[in-house]
Amino acid sequence: MQVGNAKRQINANRIVVKIGTSSLIYPDGKLNLKTIDQLAFVLSALCNQGKQVILVSSGAIGVGLNQLNLTERPTSISAQQALASIGQSKLIMIFNQRFEHYGQQIGQLLLTHDVFDYPKSRQNVLNTFEKLLQRNVIPIVNENDSVAVDELDHKTRFGDNDQLSAIVASRTNADLLIMLSDIDGFYNMNPLKSPDAALISEVDQITPATFEVAGGKGSEYGTGGMFTKLKAAERLMNENRQMVLANGREPKIIFDILAGIPVGTWFNPLQRKEFSSHGSK
């Protein structure tokens, strides 16, 4: 792990961008239209540059809460699924409006875990991804929360969109996952509790000690937060793929990431470094 400001060598043509609920929705439940508009602008610009882009977006239940003027998330699965159904339709409508403003076509894919578990359905959805990307269309992906549940052996939930984004990046053979969150990156200690916490610029290997820094799965810093992001990074690094974790407050940070500016935390596997040091194929 490194704390530094050296320029990065990030070469990526197929990119998965994951943005979390906290970046899309204000604390009062209202949609953050500024962030959504900037995200649409940036991703559209990347497509105009010849990049292939996939967006994994959270926020369906949060938007559903706002649509029904609710302040607390219900506890029952059926009520949450109903909110997801309402929120997803609103969310994709907003995305379609903003991307259309920049002349960019989008497509929606709502996925469940079993789609990737079964070879035939997996190949079908991967074919869909490929056709969309070939036509310069941005697939917008979310978990199909209105139907996804875990029942006995039939697992349909991904668990969280951090894992979903890593699986999508892996299965679509993406070069890079950019994970936009409400935190600037991975720190050497919990920044919520330690004012002296320092941002780690680069991680080239994830070990049990790395997870300990995140505080473990049961911690305030780890639950549904840094722990799941490290699991996503671990999956990708094991496949010699890169991930950058950065703050999604201003999605134009994506331009900085692709320009090699050292923002956020770059999860860059050792294998890729060794490959780079010996030259290209």
223 in a known ligand binding site: yes
93 in a known ligand binding site: no
- Whether the CA torsion 272, 274, 277, 280 is positive or negative: it is negative
The predicted structure's pLDDT at residue 28: 85
18 in a known ligand binding site: yes
User: What residue ranges of the chain have pLDDT lower than 70?
Assistant: 1-5, 145-159, 215-224, 271-281
The predicted structure's pLDDT at residue 219: 36
Q: Which domains does the chain have, with CATH numbers?
A: 14-277 (3.40.1160.10)
- Label residues 152-186 b or e (16+ Cβ within 10 Å = b): eeeebbbebbbbbbbbbbbebebbbbbbbbebbbb
227 in a known ligand binding site: yes
Which tens digits make up the pLDDT trace of 26-49?
888 889 999 999 999 999 999 999
The share of the chain scoring above pLDDT 90, in percent, equals: 53
225 in a known ligand binding site: yes
Lateral strand order in the sheet of 202-203 = 106-111, 138-143, 52-57, 14-19, 176-181, 242-247, 265-267, 202-203
196 in a known ligand binding site: no
CA distance 209 to 186: 13
64 in a known ligand binding site: no
182 in a known ligand binding site: yes
The predicted structure's pLDDT at residue 1: 59
The predicted structure's pLDDT at residue 222: 33
The predicted structure's pLDDT at residue 84: 87
96 in a known ligand binding site: no
Residues pairing with 194 in the sheet: none
268 in a known ligand binding site: no
The predicted structure's pLDDT at residue 71: 83
150 in a known ligand binding site: no
161 in a known ligand binding site: yes
H/E stretch holding 56 reads strand 52-57
271: amino acid identity, one letter: Q
In terms of pTM, does the model score above 0.75? yes
185 in a known ligand binding site: no
The predicted structure's pLDDT at residue 126: 96
The predicted structure's pLDDT at residue 151: 41
